Amino acid sequence: MSSNSENAQGGIRISFEFFPPKSEEAEQQLWNTVADLTEWDPEFVSVTYGAGGSTKAPTLSAVRKMIHETPFTTASHLTCVGATREDTHRVIDEFLAAGVRRFVALRGDPPGGVGSAYQPHPGGYANAAELVAALRERGDFDISVSAYPEKHPESRDTAADIDMLKRKADNGADRALTQFFFDNDAFERYHDRVRAAGIKIPIVPGIMPIQNLTQLKRFAGACGTNIPSWLDERFEGTDDHAEERARVAAEVAAEQIEDLVRRGIHEFHLYTMNRSPLVSAVLERLGIQRKAEARAGAAA
């Protein structure tokens, strides 16, 4: 595999994903998590956006606050499902007015949810490749897109997935953030096929520290992510032992990242689930320094 650029954090670059809160309690949790994770100095963070703009208002509010009140370089997710081109342009205008200059351009899940049939909106953008082209026409934005090492659940095969990724890259995407996965061999095979197809943008692994294995299995089934049997073995006996479960979860994620680094990958996108303790535990195990520690080391 070709390696991505390195920084002072042991050759590892990280980014975080958050989702917009749906209640006052969830909002407090989000901003507590943001405050906790600021010390890890990520390259950027992203905030998700519901299909058809279902979370536009809370996404816009969260993104605006992150841009103006935190040190984070912030990207907003943007979807085109269930919207006309004019509707999508109005949403883009709102985000630009809020200071957004980075986007994660996605088609979006069908209104019926993951697994339901997708139909392009009449007069709308049919897919993420078209959305990337529309963004690129508007300005010199930083644009991330999605990638699927184990195939998008709606794609007929991996070749179709890679063809779509190439269209997104050709239309101006800067990087691809992958769906979470646990089989690094599957990622490496996918990465090799992507490069063989002439796609040169960074393919950034999406890493999901496991907050709850049972819930993750349900989510993974809808996403098409394989849950290997060894995960059950690693978490066996931890159901009633929260500290042990958290320790195992941190080890699993850190080991996955370390193995990918050995394979030449150095950028990682962590799905935080708006919770900081497990993410911080993973980064500690990787030996990544907090900002304060890095400053202290530089001054010594």
Name the residues annotated as catalytic.
Answer: 17
The CA distances from residue 290 to 147, 259, 261, in Å, are 29, 22, 20
DSSP, collapsed to helix, strand or coil, labels residue 109 as coil
Is the Cα torsion angle 228, 233, 234, 240 positive or negative in sign? positive
**Cα(132)–Cα(64) distance, rounded to whole angstroms?**
22
Task: Label the pairing between strands 74-79 and 44-47.
Answer: parallel
Closest CA to 3 of 260, 270, 277: 260
How many contiguous H segments (helices) and E segments (strands) does the chain have?
11, 8
Asked if residue 74 lies in contact with residue 44, where contact means CB atoms within 8 angstroms, the answer is yes
- Both structure tokens of 300: 């010594």
Closest CA to 37 of 74, 8, 7, 11: 74
Burial degree of 236 (CB within 10 A; 0-12, 13-18, 19+): exposed
Q: Alpha carbon 63 to chain centroid distance?
A: 15
- Give the DSSP letter of residue 157: S
**Cα(29)–Cα(40) distance, rounded to whole angstroms?**
18
126-145 burial, b for 16+ CB within 10 Å, e for fewer? ebbbbbbbbbeeeeebebbb
